[in-house]
Chain A
């Protein structure tokens, strides 16, 4: 697992995978990385909005909208995070206006100078923003570390949890790059099955309690 990930680069890579429809896991990977980031930053644009549930719901809907129509996002015009923020902000403002019209809440959004996609891009939305590590992966890996103790198995497990599909990446970890490709594929599959079974056996039917 890389210690630092460039969010722009990651967004572009995952966006491309989503457009290509080449991976079934990409929607989950996008959600795991971008939803928590969106939820961290969106409330800062709406400091007077106390309804955190509403903010969260708009962020979730923004992500769903993007996943349903990824072709609408143009990476040349800004980062994926900025685009998601546009969608979420727009939804949130609509919701707040609707509530305001019934006298429930006053709409106050922080004004920002620079715009991307027609939406303000403040310091919090810096395009070179970096993540330390995926929070979800970190949490999962921490729980599984006591179960998978062998360092090679741990590396294989991390690649699996990152959604890495390329045999070559596993071959490097397993030290089998000199073998023919078909043999590499066989060994990698065997190793992944073994790691998965070990985790399941250790967790057992009470794995959810770990």
Chain B
């Protein structure tokens, strides 16, 4: 939901919920940002109607580590006609990104807490994740033997 399309009250609500990690809107936005997907591309990826993406965004987000995760994903998949395994994959990926960024993943008690705790959630998460990836890449380059590096350059 990176682009403003037809004004729709439910879409507007979903946009507001992108800041709240308790909702699917947050998870979808995080996934879009991570994969650099526009709204259109997200709809293509999920092969569902736009109305159903908004519907999905307005649902609560299951915790990937919860014992009832599979059942909860099935509930969302049935309600939005989304592919169950694809949805589970998106949620796990976003969850993994959060863990990587080492930010709090527990649901805040209030909206105010949610905003404070996750002030700029996606930007913060992704920036932290990218920094770590870059650090890892830099480190890998540093550790790479010169011969191997030259071979890679030749290719």
* A143 contacts B by Cβ under 8 Å: yes
State how many angstroms separate the Cβ of B72 from the closest Cβ of chain A: 5
Interface of B is mostly: helix
Which one of B29-37, B46-54, B137-145 is at the interface? B46-54
Q: A35-B13, A200-B81 are in contact. Are A25 and B50 (CB under 8 A)?
A: no
Q: Is the CB of A208 within 8 A of B48?
A: yes
Q: How far is the CA of A107 from the CA of B78 in the complex (A)?
A: 45
State how many angstroms separate the Cβ of B32 from the closest Cβ of chain A: 14
State how many angstroms separate the Cβ of A108 from the closest Cβ of chain B: 23
Contacts of A59 in B (CB 8 A): 9
Q: Is the CB of B10 within 8 A of A35?
A: yes
Q: How many A-B residue pairs have CB under 8 A?
A: 112
Q: How far is the CA of A163 from the CA of B80 in the complex (A)?
A: 9
Q: How large is the interface on A (under 10, 10 to 19, 20 to 34, 35 or more residues)?
A: 35 or more
Q: How far is the CA of A144 from the CA of B84 in the complex (A)?
A: 19
* B128 contacts A by Cβ under 8 Å: no
Which residues of B are at the interface with A, using a C-beta cutoff of 8 A?
9-10, 12-13, 16-17, 23, 40, 43-53, 55-56, 58-62, 72, 75-79, 81-84, 110-111
Closest 5 CB pairs of A and B: A208-B43, A28-B58, A24-B60, A205-B44, A25-B79
